[in-house]
Structure 1
């Protein structure tokens, strides 16, 4: 199992780009390339909220200080990201079950 990497254009005024890793350990990590902002969150602290053709991806960075963050993605990008999170979670559960 490997981390899945994607790059998405943020749907904010600056249209920055986010490099996102969906990790099989149950974490989502991203860096906004232009500002070097970096966050890492557990899937349990991740949510998606639809908003006028766009989707807010919300999370809490648990490394160091607890920091809430949000990304505004195009609806299709958010659907893909949500699908990847579900897929990786299912693969991890299958692996753990097979190891038992």
Structure 2
């Protein structure tokens, strides 16, 4: 069970790069390199909202689902790739737990 790391270029923000780490135990870490901004979330707190060629990834507060902790604007293709990475990590973790 390994964390998966990927770098994405954020649309609409000249030259901003998001270093994304998907951790199979159910965590996502995002670091915006140019802003030295670190974001963290549990998988179950993430919501994907697509509109055209862009997707907003929203991390909501686990207690008050109306409160947004952070939001990331990504290209839809990149967001789909991230969603697949999260899904694979969840499956990998589930298989590991079943085998124990």
Query: The TM-score by the shorter chain falls in which range?
Result: 0.7 to 0.9
Matched, 1:6 2:6: yes
- Dislocated runs of 4+, deviation >2 Å: 12-15
Aligned residues: 96
CA root-mean-square deviation: 1.7
In structure 1, list runs of 5 or more residues that go unmatched: none
User: What is the alpha-carbon distance in structure 2 between the residues aligned to residue 26 and residue 85 of structure 1?
Assistant: 8
TM-score by length of 2: 0.88
TM-score by length of 1: 0.88
Task: Compute the displacement of 1:12 (Å).
Answer: 2.8
In structure 2, list runs of 5 or more residues that go unmatched: none
Is contact 1:6–1:20 with CA below 8 Å preserved after alignment? yes
Is contact 2:58–2:68 with CA below 8 Å preserved after alignment? no
User: What is the alpha-carbon distance in structure 1 between the residues aligned to residue 35 and residue 69 of structure 2?
Assistant: 17
Relative to structure 1, the CA distance from residue 23 to residue 61 in structure 2 (aligned partners, 3 Å threshold; closer, same or farther) is: farther
